[in-house]
């Protein structure tokens, strides 16, 4: 899998992604401490509102980025986003009002909503071969999982020698390093030209594509299944560890670490699996696995006694991570195959917006249900929603009928459309749905 790092362009872009993620992780820890300094006991409410603002920015800004993506050089857009994030992070230590936190969080996450889909749309041009692109997706998934484990540990180590305000300095340095790496990287020219159209039509092009293509409609349902599982883990881990199991606060990171470990294990294994198994098979089985895990969690939640519950919860949290990673890792491959090159950035922006729209629904739902009906009711509701979304995805993503065998003479070696094709004298021969 590390072989893709031999590509110098991808290596620099991946490094930019990693340092930006570490900076974001430090900012997350520092923002919680800043909220406590400003709001005291109401810090949880401040952070909850900030999280909602983050999701609103993701849902609203990403489609607008898709509308202007072919009008602005991609490198300039990514560098500007990084510089904006660095500027906002440098201002955060000086705020003393809650409304200032909200404004800066919106600006910070809006810049992230511009950077991430553009970055995702560049990678297929950097690594056109399907095999290399698949391994790059697994590397990206590993980077996100490692950040969730490494950044809190790094923040804890730094806080032993500095105050939390200095963590924002690390965030600024991370975004500046990312901007420098992107600026120094020669990006390939897009394989498409600027397309005409009104701003509204271009802003909604990616979303309309999702509702027009069957496998992308199925991806919408899969996004909802992932959001239900991740919301259960993110929102209710502390409740399960502290209240249900009666363990100390030190066990909360262990539970979250089990989720990350499951995700990383799948990300490491998937490149070889995807060489032999279709995306549809892998992703739908991952969705159905999430439904099974919810059933197991319901059984544990119904049992009020037994020392076996703690290790069983860790196993289920790891299974949640594995199921989510099974869906998320091949997602970009699916979008790449389903969207024309000229609509690729709009499609990635739509996925970014729509998937975070699902999280905007499930995060508060998981919290409200936990307070209103308890853990058992929360597991039942989110589990039923996950199962319904999974079955809907199976229904929408039918196995296509194969076409008659035909040949391609105008596509380059490694083109994603040629996956599974056989080389012949005139070009490539295959059949497909």
pLDDT digits over 52-68, tens only?
788 888 888 777 776 66
Residue 398 has φ and ψ, to the nearest 5°, of -75, 155
Secondary structure letter of residue 329 according to DSSP: T
User: With pLDDT > 90 as the criterion, what percentage of the chain qualifies?
Assistant: 24
Contact 262, 233 (CB under 8 A): no
DSSP β-bridge partners for residue 424: 427
Alpha helices in 239-278 (DSSP H): 251-274
Q: What is the pLDDT of residue 392?
A: 95
Does residue 285 register a pLDDT over 80?
Answer: yes
Reported as a single tens digit per residue, the pLDDT across 139-179 is 887 787 777 667 766 776 777 787 878 888 888 999 999 99
Give the residue with greater pLDDT, 84 vs 157. Answer: 84
Contact 25, 145 (CB under 8 A): no
Which of 30-39, 197-206, 347-356, 400-409 has the least mean pLDDT?
Answer: 197-206
Contact 270, 350 (CB under 8 A): no
CA angle 418, 422, 425 (to 5 degrees): 110
Identify the band that residue 219 occupies on the pLDDT scale cut at 50, 70 and 90. very high
Contact 295, 169 (CB under 8 A): no
Does residue 340 register a pLDDT over 80?
Answer: no
Stretch 18-24: mean pLDDT: 86
Question: 357: buried, middle or exposed (CB in 10 Å: 19+, 13-18, 0-12)?
Answer: buried
Identify the band that residue 350 occupies on the pLDDT scale cut at 50, 70 and 90. confident
Q: Which two tokens stand for residue 358?
A: 């699902």
Name the E strands within 186-232.
Answer: none
Domains identified in the chain and CATH numbers = 7-188+198-203 (1.20.1250.20), 204-402+412-433 (1.20.1250.20)
Does residue 372 register a pLDDT over 90?
Answer: no
- The pTM score is 0.76
Q: What is the pLDDT of residue 101?
A: 86
Query: Mapping DSSP to helix (H, G, I), strand (E, B) and coil, where does residue 410 land?
Result: coil
Does residue 239 register a pLDDT over 80?
Answer: yes
Q: Is 197 left (phi over 0), alpha (psi -120 to 50) or beta?
A: left
DSSP of 174-189 = HHHHHHHHHHTS-PPP
Q: What is the pLDDT of residue 385?
A: 96
Residue 113 and residue 47: Cα distance in Å, rounded? 19
Q: What is the pLDDT of residue 59?
A: 80
Q: Which two tokens stand for residue 303?
A: 């049992």
DSSP of 12-63 = HHHHHHHHHHHHHHHHHHHHHHHHHHHHGGGHHHHHHHHHHHHHHHHHHHHH
Pairing of strands 422-424, 406-408: unpaired
Q: How many residues does the chain have?
A: 433
Query: Mapping DSSP to helix (H, G, I), strand (E, B) and coil, where does residue 407 land?
Result: strand
Secondary structure letter of residue 127 according to DSSP: -
Cα→Cα distances 216→34, 148, 396, Å: 40, 28, 9
Q: What is the pLDDT of residue 343?
A: 76
Residue 340 and residue 206: Cα distance in Å, rounded? 11
Reported as a single tens digit per residue, the pLDDT across 257-268 is 888 889 888 988
Contact 97, 38 (CB under 8 A): yes
DSSP β-bridge partners for residue 427: 424
Residue 159 and residue 156: Cα distance in Å, rounded? 5
CA-based torsion, 25, 27, 30, 32: positive or negative: negative
């Amino acid at each position: 899998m590390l072989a893709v790092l031999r590509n110098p362009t991808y290596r620099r872009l991946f490094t930019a992604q990693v340092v930006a993620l570490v900076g974001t992780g430090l900012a997350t820890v520092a923002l919680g401490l800043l909220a406590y300094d400003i709001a005291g006991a109401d810090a949880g409410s401040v952070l909850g509102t900030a999280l909602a603002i983050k999701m609103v920015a993701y849902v609203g800004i990403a489609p607008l980025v898709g509308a202007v993506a072919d009008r602005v050089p991609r490198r300039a857009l990514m560098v500007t986003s990084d510089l904006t994030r660095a500027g906002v992070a440098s201002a955060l230590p000086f705020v003393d009002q809650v409304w200032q936190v909200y404004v800066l969080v919106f600006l910070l996450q809006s810049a992230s909503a511009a950077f991430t889909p553009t970055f995702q749309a560049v990678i297929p041009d950097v690594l056109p071969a399907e095999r290399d692109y698949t391994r790059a997706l697994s590397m990206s998934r590993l980077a996100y999982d490692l950040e969730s484990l490494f950044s809190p540990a790094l923040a804890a180590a730094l806080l032993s020698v500095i105050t939390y305000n200095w963590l924002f300095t690390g965030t600024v340095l991370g975004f500046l390093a990312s901007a420098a790496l992107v600026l120094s990287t020669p990006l390939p020219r897009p394989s498409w030209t600027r397309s005409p159209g009104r701003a509204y039509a271009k802003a909604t092009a990616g979303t309309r594509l999702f509702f027009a293509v069957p496998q992308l409609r199925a991806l919408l349902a899969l996004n909802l299944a992932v959001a239900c599982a991740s919301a259960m883990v993110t929102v209710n881990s502390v409740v399960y560890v502290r209240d249900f199991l009666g363990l100390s606060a030190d066990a909360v990171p262990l539970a979250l670490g089990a989720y990350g470990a499951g995700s990383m294990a799948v990300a490491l294994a998937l490149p070889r699996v995807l060489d032999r198994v279709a995306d549809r098979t892998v992703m739908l089985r991952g969705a159905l696995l999430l439904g099974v895990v919810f059933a197991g969690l319901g059984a544990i939640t119904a049992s009020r006694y037994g020392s076996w519950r703690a290790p069983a919860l860790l196993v289920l949290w790891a299974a949640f991570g594995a199921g989510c990673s099974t869906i998320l890792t091949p997602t970009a491959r699916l979008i790449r195959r389903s969207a024309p090159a000229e609509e690729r950035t709009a499609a990635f922006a739509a996925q970014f917006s729509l998937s975070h729209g699902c999280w905007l629904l499930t995060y508060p739902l998981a919290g409200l249900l936990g307070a209103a009906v308890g853990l058992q009711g929360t597991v039942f509701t989110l589990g039923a929603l996950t199962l319904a979304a999974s079955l809907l995805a199976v229904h929408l993503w039918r196995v296509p009928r194969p076409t008659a065998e035909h040949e391609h003479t105008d596509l380059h070696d490694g083109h994603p459309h040629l996956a599974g094709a056989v080389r012949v004298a005139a070009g490539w021969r295959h059949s497909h749905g």
